[in-house]
Structure formats: C-alpha cells, structure tokens
Amino acid sequence: MANNSINELQHFINGKKTAGTSGRFGDVFNPATGEVQAKAPFASKAEIDEIVKISKKMAKEWGATASPKRSSIIFNMRELMVKNKQNLAELIGQEHGKTIADALGEIARAIDVVEFAAGIPNTIKGAYSPNVGGNIDVFSFREPIGVVAGISPFNFPVMVPLWMGAMAVACGNSYINKCSEVDPSAALRVAELWKEAGLPDGVWNCVIGDKEAVDSLLTHPDVPAISFVGSTAVGEYVYQTGCKHNKRVQAFTGAKNHLVVMPDANMDQAVDALIGAGYGSAGERCMAISVAVPVGEATAKELVKRLLPKVEELKMGPYNDAKAEINPLITRKAQERVEGLIAKGKAEGAGLLVDGRGKGKNLQGYENGFWVGGTLLDGVKEGMEVHKTEIFGPVLSVMAPVDFDKAVNIINNHEYGNGTAIFTRDGDTAKSFMDRVDVGMIGVNVPIPVPVSFHHFGGSKRSKFGDTQMYGPESVVFFTKMKTVSSRWPSGIKEGAVFSMPSHK
C-alpha cells in the first residue's frame, strides 16, 4: 500500500476510477519543490488483461456506431476541453511543472486534433468505381481494427494521448491510453471528460504503468495496433516487439532539431525564435530547437552576442508563476542527466557561455526542485556528446560557423530527423533547404513547425519507426483496415464457369 498521507491515484477503467491491485507504485513529484505529491499505481499483466477484455467488447459496440454519432460525441469532447482547459492546465502544471501559458498552448494543440477527429464521416469516406467491366461495381471502405493501445510520454500529458486517441476512437476503435507514470493526472482527467462527453464506458480507458503494462499490451493477441510516443530506445523496442507479435506499430521518438541562421536572416526574429524554441518548456519538447547552426563567422558572432544576455536573464519559476520562462525538469534523474551533459560539453571543448547548473539553489522556497537554468554552449562540433545526444533540457548549443552545404550535411548526418528550421530572407536558399534535408517537419522562419491537425505530424530517420503519420488524413490508414468489394447484380448475365484469371478486358 502507498503511504496513507500521500494521495493514491487510480486508473480510469470502464468509466470508473479504479484502484490499482498490483501493489506496485511510483512517485509523482512536484518538480518545483522535489516533494512527492502522489503515488501512481503500476498496472500488472492481470490488470491489463482485464482492461483489454473490456476494450475488446466495447470495440465491437462502438465500431458499429454510425460515424455521425461518433462525430457528435467527439464534438462534445471538444466543447468540454475548451470549458475545462484551465483545470487541465493546472493538472499539467502541478505534475509536469510547465507554466500555465505553456500548458494552455499544449491543450490548444490537443483541441486542434479533436476538432479534426470530429470531421471523421468525411475523412473516413470510401471510394466507389461503377462498372469496372462486366457490370461489376467496385467499392472500398474502412473498418475499425479493434483495440488500440496508445503509450504516451510525460512531456505532453494531454496533447499526445489525444493526438492518438481522438483519431483512434473517431475511426471506431476502443483506446487504452497507457499514460506516463510520472505525471498521469491530466491524462486521467481527459478520460473522465470523454465519459462526460457521452463516450460509452470502456471505449477510452486510461491506465498507469511501467514496462510490465507496456509489455502486456505489446504481446496481447487482442491488441492489433500500438501507437507510441517517447524516447528512441523505448520506441525502437516497442516497434520491434509489437511487429514481432504481428501488430501494426507507429512510434514517434527522440529528436535533435537544428535551426540554421543564414547571414541574411532577420536577426531579431532568429534570436527570439531560438530563445522561445530552445528554452520554452525547459527544452522538454520533441520539437524543441536544441542546436543553432550559424552560416558564416559574422552570423555566429552576432548570434552569440545577442543570445548571451537573453539567456542570462531567463527566469525560472514554478508553473503558476506568471513571469516564469523556464520550468523545472521532470525528475531529479532528468536534472542530473542534463547537468552531466553540460559538464561533458565543457570537457569536450564547447564554450560554456551561460551555465544553468545549480541555479535552483537560489529560488527561495524551491531550493530542492529539479531545476536547471538556461544554458548556452558555443563552438559545438559534430561528434561531441552534446551534439549527438538529445539533451531534453534548457540547453542551446551554437555550432561553430559553417557554410550552407555543411549546415545541410550536419542535419542530414544526425541520427534524428524530427524537426528543423531555417531563418533566411532568400527564397532560393529556403527551397534548397527544404528539398535537401532529411527531416520530417521543416520550418522556414518558423522555429517549431508542428503541423496543424489536417496535415500530418512525423519525423524521419530514428525519430520515427513505422510508416504512417500522427493525426491528419493518413492517421485514418493506421487506425482502420480496408475492405474492397467487387459486386455484380446478375439479372440477364449468363457467363458460365470461367477458369482464366478474371479481367476487365
């Protein structure tokens, strides 16, 4: 049992809060103070088996529900998300630590996808070809696949479960969100809101767990699809294990996003973009810009001169401090990992222009939180650990100056290809950049190019495993299976048995 004085969280299963029965718990921290504020139950294999049983039964019922009816429930959810955004932002802030303004931004991007999902009758439409030969009509339509498991990361506790799940249930599937165990409360609240919206109990379940829960989903014969968002090491494992068990799997994973600054860039805009995209959410975003690549010596000098005072002034603070720009990291382990990488960068020869380590000690009342202040490295080169590794902290690396071709090569040589951006006023350069980089999402004078819901989200190289994209029309392909019917109504047709391969000729 968890310690009585600490709130014990519950899963949300079959429309009800449900206490965990495994006897295993993890700590949920207040990252700003370092205190444990709740205990999260870790689901066992037996609990997962029970949830899958419920989900399988409900997938049949929900899958047979007319798509306009599904759409109207999703529309209700959209309204509830808007109505409850402040409460959701609080829950995110309390456990993740990001500021209310940042959490509201996350929720807005979740609502964007819920809105797209509400248009499912149009997106899921099939195709019809009359008289393809011999009076035969052919039509194709898409059916739900059944139970979809969505394994989500800590850094977007509302947005990512909804990016996957809203499209999964719109397509007529039931959905099991294995939310992050370190900040589960907002994801649990999302599950409650679906119930309020009118989604039948058991169509959207939210379960807290660790590797045991994930492995149980990955190997369960009644879970045909897995959508994963998280780190590359875990995503690759999830992809390979899921595929080995004959599931369809999409895994959106780690990143190292470069922003190229051309000599002709609007320098004010480029610097603001780097500050916001580098340090917003303390760098704990898969689309954070963590590397600036200045083209030319003069650009590099100017960039560093302008970045330095801004990074020094970045204000750390808890989620409910309206002036805070940098939030604490998610755990002590994450803090120590980021501090270790900063030390490594310095040891490998990068210039440590602003060092954010230890700055939390000066935050009165928050001295024990998981803080790392804004950190700026320069003279970073390929091969250094700080360039190879996804730091996932408030650390911006400015690379030693290069020419444009080399900038493109640096991006293409990197193992990750989630996002990238270029700041320039020249159309030819921008066009050449977007044609040549092997990266899934590209910004031209846009630092965080997360596509809107009616396009698609997804990276390249080791930032994504599997072929399909997150949300947008292509996500319907992932969350459904296709049937194609060739039909003929035989009045007046007398063909006899045909032994050669049928053809329309």
Dihedral sign for Cα atoms in the order 440, 443, 446, 447 = positive
CB of 420 to ligand NAD, least distance (A): 13
Q: Using the rule CB under 6 A, is 254 a contact of ligand NAD? A: yes
Q: Which stretch binds ligand NAD (CB under 6 A): 97-105, 127-135, 186-194, 247-255?
A: 247-255
Q: Are the C-beta atoms of residues 376 and 307 closer than 8 Å to each other?
A: yes
**Residue 93 Cβ vs ligand NAD, minimum distance, rounded to whole Å:** 17
Q: Is 210 in the site for ligand NAD (CB under 6 A)?
A: yes
Question: What are residue 465's DSSP bridge partners?
Answer: 251
Q: At what angle do helices 67-83 and 159-170 cross, to 10 degrees?
A: 160
CA 273 to chain CA mean position, Å: 21
CB under 8 Å to 220, separation ≥6 — which residues? 48, 49, 52
Cβ atoms of 315 and 324 within 8 Å: the answer is: yes
Q: Is 257 near ligand NAD (CB under 6 A)?
A: no
In whole angstroms, how close is the CB of 337 to ligand NAD at the nearest point? 11
Q: Is 286 in the site for ligand NAD (CB under 6 A)?
A: yes
Residue 155 makes contact with ligand NAD by CB under 6 A? yes
Look at phi and psi of residue 383 and say left if phi exceeds 0, alpha if psi is from -120 to 50, else beta. Answer: left
The string of DSSP codes covering 70-111 is: HHHHHHHHHHHHHHTHHHHHHHHHHHH---HHHHHHHHHHHH
Q: Which of 171, 179, 206, 286 is catalytic?
A: 286
Position 417 contacts ligand NAD (CB under 6 A): no
- Taking CB under 6 A as the rule, does residue 248 contact ligand NAD? no
Report the amino acid identity of residue 386.
V
Q: Does 463 bind ligand NAD (CB under 6 A)?
A: yes
Q: Please give the DSSP secondary-structure letter assigned to residue 132.
A: S
Tell me whether residue 14 or residue 253 sits nearer to ligand NAD (CB atom): 253
151 binds ligand NAD per the rule CB under 6 A:
yes
**Residue 112, interface with ligand NAD (CB under 6 A)?**
no
What is the token pair recorded at 101? 């303004």
253 binds ligand NAD (CB under 6 A): yes
Active site annotation includes 286: yes
| Contact residue for ligand NAD among 39, 109, 178, 248 (CB under 6 A) | 178
Least distance CB 22 / ligand NAD (angstroms): 14
Q: Least distance in Å: CB of 418 to ligand NAD?
A: 5
Residues facing residue 149 across a β-bridge? 176, 226
Given candidates 180, 420, 469, 475, which one binds ligand NAD under the rule CB under 6 A? 180
Does residue number 143 form part of the binding site for ligand NAD (CB under 6 A)? Answer: no
> Which one, 226 or 410, has the nearer CB to ligand NAD?
226
Site membership for ligand NAD, residue 231 (CB under 6 A):
yes
Residue 84 CB neighbour total at 10 angstroms: 18
Task: Kindly tell me which residue out of 112, 115, 339, 390 binds ligand NAD, with binding defined by CB under 6 A.
Answer: 390
Task: Please tell me whether residue 43 binds ligand NAD under the rule CB under 6 A.
Answer: no
Residue type, 106: E
- x/- map, 326-365, ligand NAD, by CB under 6 A: ----------------------------------------
The residue among 99 and 418 lying less far from ligand NAD, judged by its C-beta, is 418
Among the listed residues 150, 230, 345, 472, the single contact to ligand NAD using CB under 6 A:
230
Helix (H, G, I), strand (E, B) or coil at 141: strand
Candidates 18-26, 134-142, 230-238, 487-495; binding stretch for ligand NAD (CB under 6 A): 230-238
DSSP 331: S
Q: How many CA atoms lie within 13 A of 125 on its CB side?
A: 6
| 227 contributes a contact to ligand NAD by CB under 6 A | no
Do the Cβ atoms of 239 and 45 come closer than 8 Å?
Answer: no
Residue 477, phi then psi, degrees to nearest 5: -60, -40
**Nearest residue to 381 via CA among 349, 359, 404, 413:** 349
Say whether 128 sits in a helix, a strand or coil: strand
Residue 185 makes contact with ligand NAD by CB under 6 A: no
Q: Degrees (nearest 5) of the Cα angle 178, 182, 186? A: 70
Supply the minimum distance, in Å, between the C-beta of residue 425 and ligand NAD.
30
Helix axes 85-96, 100-118, angle to 10 degrees: 130
CA 17/CA 192 separation, integer angstroms: 9
Please tell me whether residue 420 binds ligand NAD under the rule CB under 6 A: no
**For ligand NAD, the closer CB: 194 or 465:** 465
Catalytic residue set = 286
Give residues in contact with ligand NAD (CB under 6 A).
151-156, 178, 180-181, 210-211, 214, 229-231, 234, 252-255, 286, 390, 392, 418, 459, 463
